[in-house]
């Protein structure tokens, strides 16, 4: 996967690199929970504790969002994405949307 070479960092500066800003880049995914997970979550809600199916879904969503962020940055001709952040939210009662976003940059050295 060539896009795996695109550096994604939460920092503004990359040590030893000068770059020019290309623009904003986004990677978005929306996932839904399955019926079995919903039943398990409902039961867990009664007794408390971590809902592992949801945790796994969010982890997968973040991974997919970063992959898509890298794809968009590559399509923009970027070498890296700086100042990467996540945002997430629920859509209805059974869907979760996760976006990874940052500034696509091109190395000048």
Q: What is the pLDDT of residues 89-98, one digit of tens each?
A: 877 767 789 9
CATH code of the domain occupying 2-107: 3.30.110.70
pLDDT of residue 89: 85
Question: Which residue has better confidence, 56 or 9?
Answer: 9
**Rounded to two decimals, what is the model's pTM?**
0.81
pLDDT of residue 2: 58
The domain segmentation of the chain, as residue ranges, is 2-107
pLDDT of residue 78: 97
| Nearest in space to 58 (alpha carbons), one of 87, 84, 36, 83 | 87
By the 10 Å C-beta count (0-12 exposed, 13-18 middle, 19+ buried), 25 is classed as: buried
Question: Which residue has better confidence, 23 or 95?
Answer: 23
| Nearest in space to 37 (alpha carbons), one of 51, 20, 19 | 51
Please tell me the least confidently modeled range out of 16-25, 49-58, 60-69: 49-58
Q: Which two tokens stand for residue 49?
A: 């504790």
Inter-residue contact 68 to 3 (CB < 8 Å):
no
């Amino acid at each position: 996967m060539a896009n795996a070479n695109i550096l994604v960092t939460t920092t503004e500066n990359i040590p030893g690199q000068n770059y020019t800003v290309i623009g904003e880049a986004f990677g978005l995914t929306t996932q839904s929970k399955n019926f079995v997970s919903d039943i398990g979550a409902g039961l867990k809600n009664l007794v408390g504790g971590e809902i592992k199916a949801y945790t796994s879904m969010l982890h997968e969503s973040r991974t997919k969002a970063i992959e898509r962020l890298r794809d968009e940055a590559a399509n923009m001709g970027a070498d890296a994405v700086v100042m990467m952040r996540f945002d997430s939210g629920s859509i209805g009662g059974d869907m979760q949307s996760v976006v990874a976003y940052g500034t696509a940059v091109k190395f000048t050295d």
